[in-house]
Amino acid sequence: MNEVLLAMVAGFIVGLLFSFLKLPIPAPPVLSGVMGIVGVYLGGVAYSWILTRFFS
C-alpha cells in the first residue's frame, strides 16, 4: 500500500510540474485511456494468477 501511495504522490507532483511548465500531461487525457491502462495491468495479473493456480 505504501508503494501505491508513493506512486500517487509522485504522479501528482509530476502533473503539477508539467502543468506549471505548460507541457502536455504525460498521461491519457480522458478517463477511458486511464481505464485502458488499468485493464492492461489487470489482464497481466490475471494471466499470472491463472498460470499459478491451474498450471503449477
Note whether 12 and 19 are within 8 A (CB). Answer: no
Which pLDDT score, from 0 to 100, does residue 36 have? Answer: 87
pTM of the model as a whole: 0.61
The per-residue pLDDT for range 1-54, each reduced to its tens digit, is 789 899 889 989 998 999 999 998 877 778 888 898 899 999 999 999 999 999
Q: Give me the number of domains the chain comprises.
A: 1
**Residues spanned by the domain of 36:** 2-54
Q: Which helix (H) or strand (E) holds 35?
A: helix 31-54
CA distances from 8 to 16, 30, 48, 52, 54 (A): 12, 17, 24, 29, 33
Which pLDDT score, from 0 to 100, does residue 48 have? Answer: 95
